[in-house]
Structure 1
């Protein structure tokens, strides 16, 4: 038995690091045991449970304590007898929370090895790339088509890069200049403010290329209204960001009229549409798209380094979440370093 640490929300806007006992022996023959190197905060999802003040969404508040997170990179310290293709010392992404130790079942869990050339603090971002890559493998839009991304948090910023690397003409929209600067530092060619004349903002960057796909990663009704205005006839709009709060200033008629008159398709962009592993007749799976994201990182076709504003020890969890909540110009993305 070893003494572990993990992040917990014990109440609204209260994050602590708590101890727990961890048995590093594999519980069965298909289990990997990891010592965590880094874990990354998913700002939207985790701040929703940290603040617990959403008025709509896919849960009705959180019972505390909450142990957040779903993106970690760890080193294998033990493995079951039936496991092939893994050895002690392997470094991999594992879909687990903010804790010093984890275990995973190679038959079912989401696991992707990290090459030695990709630092763990970069490799952990494949989790956020995968969010939009569900739409990448299911959309009817094709390379060369115009794609608009609304909202440039971690998910939007990685989405813009992934779609650009896949051959699409991408324009990334966000009202905050600092966020546009970050995505440009990552190598995204076109970023703009979602001005009142969204068509003019689009045309100034990509000319007469029509917008065939919109990714809304913001969870904002205002962004969806801009999306239906910008989208070309017959285009798709994928809702990737969760609408945690209602917006009574946006009447439904204003949103739905263009959907009807332009034959638009608005659909869920939730990543869990794809299975974790390969399944017959399914267009892709989460493991495969995450492996592809890791390959893009290794080849330098996407760059996540400008996204990471803070690399902190987990004992700084409270200041990290407060920074992401209240100091958004300074805190863009936080990664916990469990080796510190």
Structure 2
């Protein structure tokens, strides 16, 4: 059979290729799937496309958020059958062999399939809320209102917080407003610390979720975190930033300057499957996201900016890199 897939062939070079695909005989716990939709993860995939990530040696087929249809099952597979739609952590490759021991979940039958791949971004965002001390009535700030930051802001509101989102893009601020974020501020206008202190009665936020991955933003946000507050690093820090680390550490250490807790919010903090010793897992979070989306408590549609064919991949990545106002949630339609 012919298989289409998107390849990062060299730094900033994207191609959609077609090749012969002859899958080997499936193992007992494997299924062969055909993509329906796959979602670009802008932060991770643009970092991969730069060629600077040691863990993603080019050429590589990127992607990790997909909904597919099962076209063949291994002899030992009992939970899935041919024709089932499944959410999985798949790449931008039309046909893939997936192990049932990996994350593989049937989404609700009445859930819009275009929304299903966004579940991955929501479970990434979920970690920031899971590790935080957010309680009803707290003020929470989120820097970076892309897919993950926006969803983190929505989840913090569901936790009972008043949420202040910050971004440089007027379009993403507009989208945050559509998704119900309480206050959305344009970081390009300056005075963010003063605006946040005014919104919080001079107290600052109790939790700051850093979703840009820009180290300087994380350091600057310390100034609007209240005493005994916390900062959760949701976006993986990238790039170089030189500062006086002693001053940063003292700010976080001394009570009269903040006494702030640093927390890592990486998705893989939690196991894939539920177990008896850990409350949270990626499977549990995914199923919760399905239900929140079904109940319209988690907004996905405003995040969906483009549904395009794989042959338009080069255009998609250029848009995400150079036109963040118009490109946000980009789905590849493999039909």
Calculate the TM-score normalised by the size of structure 1.
0.90
Displacement after TM superposition at 1:254 (Å): 4.4
Displacement after TM superposition at 1:135 (Å): 2.6
Q: Which residue of 1 aligns with 2:226?
A: 232
Rounded Cα–Cα distance in structure 1 between residues aligned with 2:200 and 2:22: 55
The answer for unaligned runs of 5 or more in structure 2 is: none
Give CA-to-partner distance per residue, 1:183-226, whole Å, 9 cap, x none: 11222222113465444322544557752221101012232123
Q: Which residue of 2 aligns with 1:90?
A: 84
Q: Which residue of 2 aligns with 1:148?
A: 141
Give CA-to-partner distance per residue, 1:93-114, whole Å, 9 cap, x none: 110110111222222x112222
Task: Please list, as runs of the form range in 1=range in 2, the aligned pairs for 1:66-215 lying within 5 A after superposition.
Answer: 66-107=60-101, 109-194=102-187, 196-205=190-199, 207=201, 211-215=205-209
Secondary structure at the aligned position of 1:93 is classed as strand
Q: Which residue of 2 aligns with 1:272?
A: 268
Give CA-to-partner distance per residue, 1:138-193, whole Å, 9 cap, x none: 32333332221111111101111122123222111113222111111222222113
Rounded Cα–Cα distance in structure 1 between residues aligned with 2:4 and 2:191: 50
Rounded Cα–Cα distance in structure 1 between residues aligned with 2:25 and 2:142: 43
Give CA-to-partner distance per residue, 1:86-142, whole Å, 9 cap, x none: 2322212110110111222222x1122222322222111010011121232232333
RMSD (Å) for aligned C-alpha atoms:
2.1
The answer for unaligned runs of 5 or more in structure 1 is: none
Calculate the TM-score normalised by the size of structure 2.
0.91
Q: Which residue of 2 aligns with 1:299?
A: 295
Rounded Cα–Cα distance in structure 2 between residues aligned with 1:316 and 1:221: 32
The answer to which of 306-315 and 82-91 deviates more is 82-91
Q: Which residue of 1 aligns with 2:38?
A: 39
Give CA-to-partner distance per residue, 1:250-271, whole Å, 9 cap, x none: 4334433321122211121111
Greater relative contact order (CA < 8 Å, ≥ 6 in sequence): 1
Cα distance change on mapping 1:26 and 1:149 into 2, 3 Å: farther
Q: Is the 8 A contact 1:215 1:238 kept in 2?
A: yes
Secondary structure at the aligned position of 1:277 is classed as coil
Cα distance change on mapping 1:117 and 1:189 into 2, 3 Å: farther
